[in-house]
Amino acid sequence: MTNSRLESIDLRHLTTNQPFCAGVILLQQGHLIVRLNTDYLPSQKGKQTAAYRIKGLGGDQRQGETIWECALREAQEKLQVELQLLPSPSTYFHEIDTGEQYPVTSTDIVPPFLLERQSNLYPYTPLRPGLPTGPYTYYCLFLARTLQPLTHTGTTEGLLYIRPELWPTLLQQPTLESMLQQGASILDGSGLSHQRQLWVPSWESVSLAASLLQSHPDLLESV
């Protein structure tokens, strides 16, 4: 088998007229900001235990938009504040099918921090009518900053501010109170229960981003 690793990426070339989802990585004073929404812990016994599901700041493309436009729109709609995308000094590529991940160079004016790719089981079926089809779906996260202070939670129940090095603890489904005691903080829009557990779906791109950010202390403090 030949080595299929990419050395560089041209994001516009890869994603134009192709399926993608996009969002942003929002950092403030070394903390990663993620969304909290009520959901139920995954269980093999059919029990429903209310918890707060960790979500990133992104979503699906709309017809005709670029991957940069998608990332900015999705994040701004969720936070209801104006944002600016920032060029990332480092870019990582993740081949979801194989689990391989590695740094690449990007030829784009605003390079992403993380680009993921996964084969489509039904490459000729769009996610929604009018959207493009293709052999892969791309998932992309850009660095971003807010142009106004975050004073409310937008369309989400709460925002969790967490240092990336605490992410492994977050994956153990701790209570919100436990994370607050370890240095996380929240912007609360709906009276969050501190006794509820937190959980991160395995498919959330922000989880890999948090892991990668741990090797970039300079980036954490500068964005």
Q: What pTM value is reported for the model? A: 0.93
Contact status, residue 188 vs residue 48, Cβ threshold 8 Å: no
Report the C-alpha gap between 34 and 154 in whole angstroms. Answer: 12
Q: Taking Cα atoms as reference points, which of 31, 52, 25 lies closest to residue 40?
A: 52
- According to CATH, the topology of domain 12-214 is Nucleoside Triphosphate Pyrophosphohydrolase (3.90.79)
Q: Which tens digit of pLDDT belongs to each residue from 158-168?
A: 999 999 999 99
pLDDT category of residue 44 using cuts at 50, 70 and 90: low
The reported pLDDT for the residue numbered 222 is 62
Contact status, residue 195 vs residue 178, Cβ threshold 8 Å: no
Cβ count within 10 A of residue 128: 9
Q: State how far the alpha carbon of 185 is from the alpha carbons of 32, 158, 159, 160, 166, in Å.
A: 11, 10, 8, 6, 12
Q: Is the pLDDT of residue 3 over 60?
A: no
The domain spans of the chain are: 12-214
Q: Which tens digit of pLDDT belongs to each residue from 5-30?
A: 889 999 999 999 999 999 999 999 99
